Amino acid sequence: MSSFKGQMAEYPTISIDRFDRENLKARAYFLSHCHKDHMKGLRAPTLKRRLECSLKVCLYCSPVTKELLLTNPKYRFWEKRIVSIEIETPTQIPLVDEASGEKEEVVVTLLPAGHCPGSVMFLFQGNNGTVLYTGDFRLAKGEAARIELLHSGGRVKDIQSVYLDTTFCDPKFYQIPSREECLSGIVELVRGWITRSPHHVVWLNCKAAYGYEYLFTNLSEEFGVQIHVNKLDMFRNMPDILHHLTTDRSTQIHACRHPKAEEYFHWNKLPCGIISKNKIPLHTISIKPSTMWFGERTRRTNVIVRTGESSYRACFSFHSSYSEIKDFLSYICPVNIYPNVIPIGTTMDKVAEILKPLCRSSQSTEPKYKPLGKLKRARKTHLDSEEEDDLFDDPVPLPRRHKAPYQLTLHPEVFVMTAAQPQPEQQRQSTGYLKAEGMRTSPWANFVDCEESNSESEEELQTPASSQEDLGAVTHQQPKADVEVPQWEVFFQRNDEITDEGLENPSSSTEAGGSQSPKLFSDSDGESTHISSQNSSQSTHISEQGSQGWDSQSDTVLLSSQERKSGDITSLNKGSYRPRIKEHIPASQMEQSVPCPKETHSDLKHRNQDVKIVPSAGEPTALSSGIHIPQEKSSLNLSTTADSQSSSDFEIPSTPEAELPKGEHLQYLYEKLATGENIVIEKRKSSLLDT
């Protein structure tokens, strides 16, 4: 849940995702996505009144968010004041004080956030520096490197502050299986059930919120069956989603809801009320997407857990895991990080401790926003170049880690990823956040090495860090003993232990009752079991997990999609995705892009990138004319100060000679990249520099 108050230190005249209190005075509003906890005050009478008195104040969001928002009658009054901004299109926004006439401008760029349909991060560039508000996001490792507009001149932009989704910024969520893994686990579970007979149906026990659409679309695509939902009119203009949904209850996959759904389910009734088809009773299983639940597990990660005779939990996350957050931050390397979410049970200080090591160290360019001022880097030797090395060591931060993500661009599968349609960018949005990361290694396999390196550093921590963050901003200051200490052994087990398939004892744990659940097989140590669903061609791996208070009588089973055939990835990418990256960054450029942006030249100069200009506020008419970005043609070049490297920033032709790693080398890279380890560096140097 967002705890963000709405304003950023650098640009206090704009409000994001909060519309109450201080935010009532904002010169412009931004909405990152359509979840209620980011819409506080958005329909309050006070704001409505202000809107009526103002000629210029507008709400900016993605086209999909606009669509979803306006589908709700409660927000209709915004209609003439919502300006949708195309994804990845730098757009100039006028910030006018209507009383004084004072005017400022800021350029905003919407970057896909991968959280739910329409969700975006906002990158702001203006006189007070470049800042990134992530909203809620889920980006896989390495994805930041593929976001063109986070770059400039072949390297990551100089970002002053990041306002970060810290929902799972906790080592207990160190690793969350990728979207693809979670999805394929669900796909196989569903397949094993609905192929039994037309009367076998699945109920996806989803919460009332946007974000499950990619699950629906992929299941629908996979089985050629539409998903039953209560409502779908909000998707009327998003065919890529709409076509996979139905309000016809006679389908085998349901995601409908009802206040008494759980009770219904107990009586074998679906939330939509049906219990049979053609007089024949239905056999139903429920699958409940969960994240926190898995975060609480004490054993290694798994994708599907059986919690009852006919009930399953499926790992599913809208938010980046701890390691994904770390990867993201270490790539963009901001000076300041402000957490947007302080989960209960934790405190600002705790989150701050975790984030601190991920801030850029160094001389700040904006002391004003750096509560801690300059920091000395007293480097502990024991921290040496393990995990966080480059984050601490270099006086001039030179996060060589950054190379790792770039390296990803050499990964063959990256090319496969995301291709969205240019057109209905609603779809692009809605499905575009599903991207294949391309890592084939099983999550745990990647960490074997690490077990050693981290073994000792279990709990220590808490260097008496000066806790003084003004706004909760965290600035890098001292080599924080990483609070991050993941408990490796808890999350990962040795490869062999897990992948081995041969030793299951077919102890049929068949369940009684009319519902035939997949058969279970426990393996010897009782720690790990295998499940094989009748029709599933693919052997799915499972492991047992302590039943922590779940249906005691039921088997607790975990499935983890062990192998994802490349086909899986492909299927994920059905739909229309837009290539996230058109060309690769030549090795030569990678070289220079590697170093953490020094505060040399600011990004204030927007190079030659096109910047759209939003008609200076005050033309609501134009805005409401149906053209979202009326100023369309007027794409101007802000960069009067454009420097040389400009326009071609992202049009660098691919480097054919940038050879793709193969064989063992590739395997090596997979493992290292997947862990975010820096080992890659050396490799990279040798392999890339010599090109």
**Footprint on this chain of DNA (rule: CB under 7 A):** 1, 20, 35-38, 41, 43-45, 115, 136, 167, 205, 207-211, 259, 261-262, 289-293, 296, 318-319, 343-345
- Reduced to 3 states (helix: H, G, I; strand: E, B; else coil), residue 663 is helix
Give me the least distance between CB of 654 and DNA, in Å please: 36
Return the number of the residue (154 or 432) whose C-beta is nearest DNA.
432
State the virtual CA torsion across 661, 665, 669, 672 in degrees, nearest 10: -170
Taking the C-alpha atoms of residue 330 and residue 402, their distance in angstroms, rounded to an integer, is 7
Instruction: Give dist(CA 564, CA 569) in Å, integer.
Output: 7
By C-beta, is 315 or 391 nearer to DNA?
315
Task: Let me know: does 478 contact 375? Beta carbons within 8 Å.
Answer: yes
Least distance (Å) from DNA to the CB of residue 360?
27
CA dihedral 72, 73, 77, 81 (to 10 degrees): 30
Hey, how many other C-beta atoms are within 10 angstroms of the C-beta on 546? Answer: 11
Shorter beta-carbon distance to DNA: residue 30 or 392: 30
* SS3 state at 225: coil
C-beta neighbour count of 386 within 10 angstroms: 14
CB of 11 to DNA, least distance (A): 24
Distance from the first to the final alpha carbon of the chain: 47
Closer to DNA by Cβ: residue 290 or 529 = 290
CB of 569 to DNA, least distance (A): 24
Query: Which residue lies nearer to DNA by CB, 345 or 567?
Result: 345
- Whole-number minimum distance, CB 71 to DNA, in Å? 13
| Chain length of the chain | 691
Q: Which residues are paired to 577 by β-bridges?
A: 420
C-alpha torsion 338→340→345→350, nearest 10: -10
Is residue 315 within 8 A of residue 294, CB to CB? The reply is yes
Give the residue with the Cβ less far from DNA, 554 or 608.
554
Collect all residues with Cβ–Cβ distance below 8 Å to 53 and sequence separation of at least 6.
Answer: none
- In the block, tokens 């040798």 appear at 686
Q: How far is the CB of 319 from DNA (least distance, A)?
A: 6
Query: How near is the Cβ of 34 to DNA at its closest, in Å?
Result: 7
User: In terms of CB distance, is 340 or 528 closer to DNA?
Assistant: 340
Rounded Cα–Cα distance for residues 198 and 282 (Å)? 9
- Residue closer to DNA (CB basis): 266 or 601: 266
Nearer to DNA, 311 or 364 (CB): 311
The β-bridge partners of 40 are: 18
Two tokens at 561?
């999609």
Q: How far is the CB of 568 from DNA (least distance, A)?
A: 23
- Closest separation between CB of residue 209 and DNA, Å? 3
CA angle 605, 608, 614 (to 5 degrees): 80
